[in-house]
Amino acid sequence: MINDFACFYEFSDQANTRIKHVFEIYKIKAESEETRKRQQKDAEDLQQKMKEERHAQIQTEKEIRIASEKIEKLDQEMKEEFQKRRKTIKEKIHEAKKLHNINENENNCYNFAFAGHTKTGKSSLINAIRGIADKEAIAAKVGITETTQIVQKYPYHDNNHKNVAINFYDIPGSGTLSHDASQYYHEKGLCAFDCLFILVQETFCEEEIKFAIAALKNNQKVAFIQSKCDILLTNKKKQKLIKEISQKAVNDCLIECNVKENHRREIAKTDISQLRKIPCFYVSSINLFNLKKGFEADLEVNYNEKELLEFMMAEVKYSRNFIGQ
């Protein structure tokens, strides 16, 4: 009996060990199954991720292709627009030249136009630069009421540029009922000329800025001129703002005009940087006439007359590679 029990206990120990091993095996099997499942899930997740990444890549490639196509289309449209504009500018210049009987194929010729608000001294300036007195028969008509009614051409002879035909075009003053400022640049065919002088007054008006912008759009050389500076200085003397009309008073006045005056302030408001680069010459037609006639002794003071003449001749010389003589 005791032996039976002993046997039982012995058996029981073995049975327990067996059970323990069985459990161990189950546990290992379960763990391995779990690892397998986890690995399988990881593999599936990785596959899914790769699938998504591939999908995203395809999507990105598609977007890049669409964007490239759009850029290509825009490039093409811009090219067409540019060509159209260049064509319209060319056509406009062609029409304007026809209006003023300017031969497009004539290269040894340079045309200056003097435009701007009425009574700014355009005709007087043309006469002065030509060295012709206002009362001479061949002079441009000058007056205190609206004077120039149609565009007039005046030849200019310069001893340093004998091979070049230089012409001055006197344009009727803008801002009157007969010559409305809003259509002035277009109607007067101002794009036909190689260089446009815009005569300005002490107060810079919207119209002058508009003419200058139009000139810039047409790639035209442009400069501002404020004439009648002698009157400006005389008025300053009358108002006792200066003691006498000396060169120093003139220089101070020119600095004031260039830096503080209305011109620059108005231009600064437009935010068009190219406008700021347009030169402005302050002159007196009386001075210019004396200078051209060689009456330098009569010149009490100088404004920008010499600078203006130099600018004009430099334009003639360099714009189309004209060589002097």
Ligand X SMILES: Nc1nc2c(ncn2[C@@H]2O[C@H](COP(=O)(O)OP(=O)(O)OP(=O)(O)O)[C@@H](O)[C@H]2O)c(=O)[nH]1
Q: Which residues bind ligand X (CB under 6 A)?
A: 118-124, 142-144, 146-148, 172-173, 227-228, 230-231, 284-286
Q: Which does 130 bind (CB under 5 to 8 A by kind): ligand X, Mg ion, none?
A: none
Q: Which does 290 bind (CB under 5 to 8 A by kind): ligand X, Mg ion, none?
A: none
Which does residue 118 bind out of Mg ion, ligand X, none, counting CB within 5 to 8 angstroms by kind? ligand X
In the bound state with Mg ion, the residue whose beta carbon lies nearer, of 148 and 284, is 148
Q: DSSP string covering 193-232, please?
A: SSEEEEEE-SSPPHHHHHHHHHHHHTT-EEEEEE--HHHH
Tokens of 144: 């205190």
Closer Cβ to ligand X, 124 or 304, answer by number: 124
At how many degrees (to 10) do helices 262-270 and 247-259 cross?
Answer: 20
Shortest spacing between CB 225 and ligand X, in angstroms: 10
* Nearer to ligand X (CB atom), residue 175 or residue 189: 175
Q: Are 111 and 312 a contacting pair, CB within 8 Å?
A: no
- In the numeric block, the tokens 């009309």 are attached to 245
CA distance 100 to 94: 10
CB of 293 to ligand X, least distance (A): 15
**Nearby residues of 309 by Cβ (< 8 Å), 6 or more positions away:** 129, 288, 291
Comparing CB distances to ligand X, the nearer of 161 and 189 is 189
Residue number with CB closer to Mg ion (67 or 231): 231
Is 152 a residue that touches Mg ion (CB under 5 A)?
Answer: no
For residues 154 and 305, what is the distance between their CA atoms, to the nearest angstrom? 20
Residue number, 123 or 304, with CB nearest to Mg ion: 123
Q: Which of 176, 173, 113, 183 is nearest to 143 (CA)?
A: 173
Cα–Cα distances (Å) from 160 to 156, 291, 305, 324, in that order, read 12, 16, 18, 6
According to CB under 5 A, which residues from 178 to 237 bind Mg ion? none
CB of 148 to ligand X, least distance (A): 3
Lookup: tokens for 89: 């500018």
Of 211 and 322, the one with the shorter C-beta distance to Mg ion is 211
Q: Which of 94, 131, 146, 147 binds Mg ion (CB under 5 A)?
A: 147
Where does this chain touch Mg ion (CB under 5 A) — which range of 147-155, 242-250, 302-310, 311-319? 147-155
What would the x/- binding string for Mg ion be over residues 112 to 131, using CB under 5 A? ----------xx--------
Cβ distance 199 to 129 under 8 Å?
Answer: no
Q: Which does 227 bind (CB under 5 to 8 A by kind): ligand X, Mg ion, none?
A: ligand X
Cβ-based burial of 217 (10 A; exposed 0-12, middle 13-18, buried ≥19): middle
> Measured from the CB of residue 151, what is the shortest distance to Mg ion in angstroms?
11
Q: Report the distance separating Cα 213 and Cα 219, nearest Å.
A: 10
CB of 146 to ligand X, least distance (A): 4
